[in-house]
Structure 1
Amino acid sequence: MTTENKGIVQRALAGLIETGDVDALAPFLSDDFVHHRPGPTTSTKAEWLAAVRAALVPLAGMQVEIHQVLADGDHVVMYSRRWLPDAGPEIAVVDIWRIDDRLIAEAWEIIEPVAQVTANLAWWKPAQHLPGTGRAGGRHACCVADEAVRDDRSSSVSTVSAGEALEPRRV
């Protein structure tokens, strides 16, 4: 199934990337398709196709390099680098596609301008001291925070799988 799902996504995007033909993409999307962006923004099939159609006019000539296409169950993940036309910025894009009944039912998209990668990593700087833990120096803030959560057995961590509600779980 995962190989078949990768093929569905690859065929859906091939015509769009190679020719800019948005109409060739539509038959690969379910009628109740939903496109998600970070934050509360979602689009229906018609809204997303209209947005893609509008975006392709100024993006004619964009170069796309697909670096990874991975599949697991009903999900396909694609990592690509794109160069916008007219010396526009390079962007890194992660797309996640959910396949249902041989059609793309949902898509999530995260876009990051490559020039902003360093600024976007500010949260990842090594921690000097995490108050209340007695731990310091050299480790990343997320690692130190993770250790603090593991040390505090009264803490709960939320886990979620595709299609499940978010439930707290004791560590």
Structure 2
Amino acid sequence: MTTQNMATDHKSIIQRALTALVATGDVDALAPLLREDFVHHRPDSTSSTKAEWLDAVRAALVHLGGMQVEIQHLLAEGDHVVMHSRRRLPGAGPGIAVVDIWRIDDGLIAEAWEIIEPVAQAAAHLTWWEPADQ
């Protein structure tokens, strides 16, 4: 398999996972696409196992049903896929920008990293290093 074919295959795995989740709301459809030793990493240095992450996604969908996902970029190199998306709740609900990084191993998702930023707060985050007004 060429590097280009591998990247295309890895992107298709992520697209299938996202479609299974967003289109159907069926969290259990994600499980076969994840390795048993899957780890989800958060920016605060916490991580969750496959079962913990699936439970968290299941709980979030109670509040996020009908969420619209617009993929801005989907890039693959080696065993990693990066997806930049904008997501919003139905009816002009709050929007977020999300960057997901996925690592693929033997055709399954082995690890995921996720950064989420509320779009309405993006301007304030441009100067994160400045001290807050007191």
TM-score by length of 2: 0.88
Q: C-alpha displacement at 1:86, in angstroms? A: 5.6
Q: Specify which of 22, 26, 45 is matched with residue 27 of structure 2.
A: 22
Q: C-alpha displacement at 1:40, in angstroms? A: 1.8
- 1:5 pairs with 2:10: yes
Q: Specify which of 95, 98, 120 is matched with residue 103 of structure 2.
A: 98
Alignment map for 1:22-101 (pairs within 5 Å): 22-85=27-90, 87-101=92-106
**Structural RMSD (CA):** 1.4
Q: C-alpha displacement at 1:28, in angstroms? A: 0.3
The unaligned stretches of length 5 or more in structure 1 are: 126-171
Q: How many residue pairs end up in the alignment?
A: 125
Q: C-alpha displacement at 1:88, in angstroms? A: 2.9
> Partner residue of 1:112?
117
Moved over 3 A (4+): none
The unaligned stretches of length 5 or more in structure 2 are: 1-5
SS at match of 2:82: strand
Give 1:15's aligned amino acid: A
Q: C-alpha displacement at 1:87, in angstroms? A: 4.3
Q: C-alpha displacement at 1:52, in angstroms? A: 0.3
Q: C-alpha displacement at 1:124, in angstroms? A: 7.5
Q: Distance in 1 between the 2:111 and 2:76 partners?
A: 14
Q: Distance in 1 between the 2:13 and 2:69 partners?
A: 18
Give 2:68's aligned amino acid: Q
SS at match of 1:122: coil
